[in-house]
């Protein structure tokens, strides 16, 4: 209902209450004049009723008017109560809401009825809502990234890299990495691959071996003999590396493994390696170079993230959508998961409301206290003034009846 309609209804009810008072006043004047000319008993009864009705109407008019305004503009004490007591009204209203609506026993039944998981699952199950969510989140993240100061971010990355670099011992990391590979036996694939490559290289370059044998051979040895020697060398070497390739328990494999273990231990324990890697690290992580690396990392990361967030069918969005669908499936089908979500929401809401009940009361109190007094009176009068006019009407009628009763009793006595 708009304010204009409320104003019209208030005017109509005021006119009705005032009209009833005017009717009683005219009746009283008429009966007073008539009583001087006619001494009939019934005139006295009507006069008494109208007189008391006027008193009741005036008293209730004063009471109702005193709530919102000064009666007839006269600043009588304890009138215009709404405007003059708005701070007290705000405090009382805030305390009333906190004590009667935000108490633990009142909010607990409503909190226990919360079923956020059902609503969330239904809402997120729709593609349109998923797209809205992803687009809004993407827009917010893009806006945040674009507003970040590049120089500040690069400086942050540089500082963190310097902190990490200062505490990192590259020789220990590399040594531990090598031992991890050895313990996983992953180096065997490398040995197998190298053996195969060496074997193939030897077979493919037999002519090179022959030329080398001929070059180193004595002049009196026939070339046919040199050819046989080179062939034997080539076959022997290729067969040896074939054995290494095919036999996972070949002695050379164990020997290579032991040598690598020794090297990894040396990397971790020998001071010379620590010194070597510190030198490499200091050269690689010089201030200007490190700043440039940090800038390159940030610019690459920034452009990649913005691109992924901007494209509709990006891998990032596809991955997020896949996880949303899995989340929705759990929300709709996993009762235990639903209970965990709802339980967390209920507990959080309950704690938050109880923790901030005083803030809610202060919000109401401050809001009402900051309203302009006349505006507050006008708003309240529009809302309840229509009903208050019935007090005036009732006061007129009840006052008249009480006056009539008193007049009747007095006559009988």
pTM of the model: 0.45
Measured CA to CA in angstroms, residue 29 lies from 35, 48, 114, 285, 333 at distances of: 10, 11, 66, 107, 82
Are the C-beta atoms of 277 and 171 separated by less than 8 Å?
yes
pLDDT at 59 over 60: yes
The most confident of 38-42, 301-305, 312-316, by mean pLDDT: 301-305
Q: How many H-runs (helices) and E-runs (strands) does the chain carry? A: 19, 0
pLDDT band at 7 (very low <50, low <70, confident <90, very high): confident
**Residue 237 pLDDT:** 77
Distance separating alpha carbons of residues 264 and 277, to the nearest angstrom = 14
Cβ-based neighbour number of residue 25 at 10 Å: 16
Query: What's the rounded Cα separation, in Å, for the pair 176 and 172?
Result: 6
Query: What does the pLDDT read at residue 281?
Result: 64
Q: Are the C-beta atoms of 259 and 187 separated by less than 8 Å?
A: no
Q: Which pairs with CB-CB distance under 8 Å and at least 24 residues apart come from 382-390?
A: 382/3, 382/6, 382/7, 382/10, 383/6, 385/10, 385/13, 385/14, 385/64, 385/68, 386/6, 386/9, 386/10, 386/13, 388/64, 388/67, 389/10, 389/13, 389/14, 389/16, 389/17, 389/64, 390/13, 390/17
59 neighbors 392 (Cβ within 8 angstroms): no
Q: What is the pLDDT of residue 364?
A: 72
Confidence of residue 224 (pLDDT cuts 50, 70, 90): low
Displacement of CA 314 from its chain's centroid (Å): 24
Return the pLDDT at 370: 65
């Amino acid at each position: 209902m708009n304010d204009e309609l409320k104003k019209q209804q208030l005017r109509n009810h005021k006119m009705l209450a005032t009209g009833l008072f005017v009717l009683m006043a005219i009746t009283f004047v008429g009966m007073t004049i008539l009583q001087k000319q006619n001494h009939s008993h019934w005139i006295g009864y009507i006069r008494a009723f109208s007189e008391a009705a006027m008193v009741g109407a005036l008293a209730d008019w004063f009471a109702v008017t005193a709530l919102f305004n000064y009666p007839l503009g006269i600043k009588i004490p304890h009138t215009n109560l709404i405007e003059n007591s708005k701070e007290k009204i705000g405090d009382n209203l805030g305390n009333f809401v906190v004590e009667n609506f935000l108490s633990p026993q009142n909010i607990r039944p409503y909190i226990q009825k919360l079923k956020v998981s059902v609503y969330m699952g239904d809402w997120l199950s729709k593609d349109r809502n998923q797209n809205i969510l992803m687009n809004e989140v993407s827009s917010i993240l893009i806006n945040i990234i674009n507003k970040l100061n590049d120089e500040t971010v690069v400086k942050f990355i540089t500082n963190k890299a310097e902190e990490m670099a200062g505490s990192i011992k590259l020789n220990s990391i590399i040594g531990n990495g090598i031992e991890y590979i050895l313990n996983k036996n992953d180096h065997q694939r490398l040995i197998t691959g190298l053996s195969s490559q060496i074997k193939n290289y030897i077979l493919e370059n037999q002519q090179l071996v022959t030329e080398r044998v001929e070059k180193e051979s004595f002049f009196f040895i026939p070339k046919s003999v040199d050819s046989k020697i080179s062939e034997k060398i080539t076959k022997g070497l290729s067969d040896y590396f074939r054995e290494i390739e095919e036999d996972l328990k070949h002695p050379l494999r164990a020997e290579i493994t032991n040598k690598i273990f020794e090297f990894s231990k040396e990397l971790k324990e020998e001071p010379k390696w620590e010194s070597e890697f510190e030198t490499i690290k200091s050269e690689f992580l010089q201030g200007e170079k490190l700043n440039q690396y940090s800038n390159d990392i940030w610019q690459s990361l920034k452009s990649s993230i913005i691109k992924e967030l901007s494209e509709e069918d990006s891998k990032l969005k596809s991955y997020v959508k896949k996880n949303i669908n899995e989340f929705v499936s759990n929300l709709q089908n996993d009762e235990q998961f639903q209970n965990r979500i709802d339980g967390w929401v209920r507990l959080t809401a309950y704690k938050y409301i109880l923790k901030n009940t005083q803030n809610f009361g202060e919000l109401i109190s401050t809001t009402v206290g900051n309203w302009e007094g006349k505006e507050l009176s006008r708003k309240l009068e529009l809302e309840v003034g229509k009903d208050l006019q019935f007090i005036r009407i009732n006061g007129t009628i009840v006052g008249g009846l009480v006056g009539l009763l008193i007049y009747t009793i007095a006559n009988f006595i």
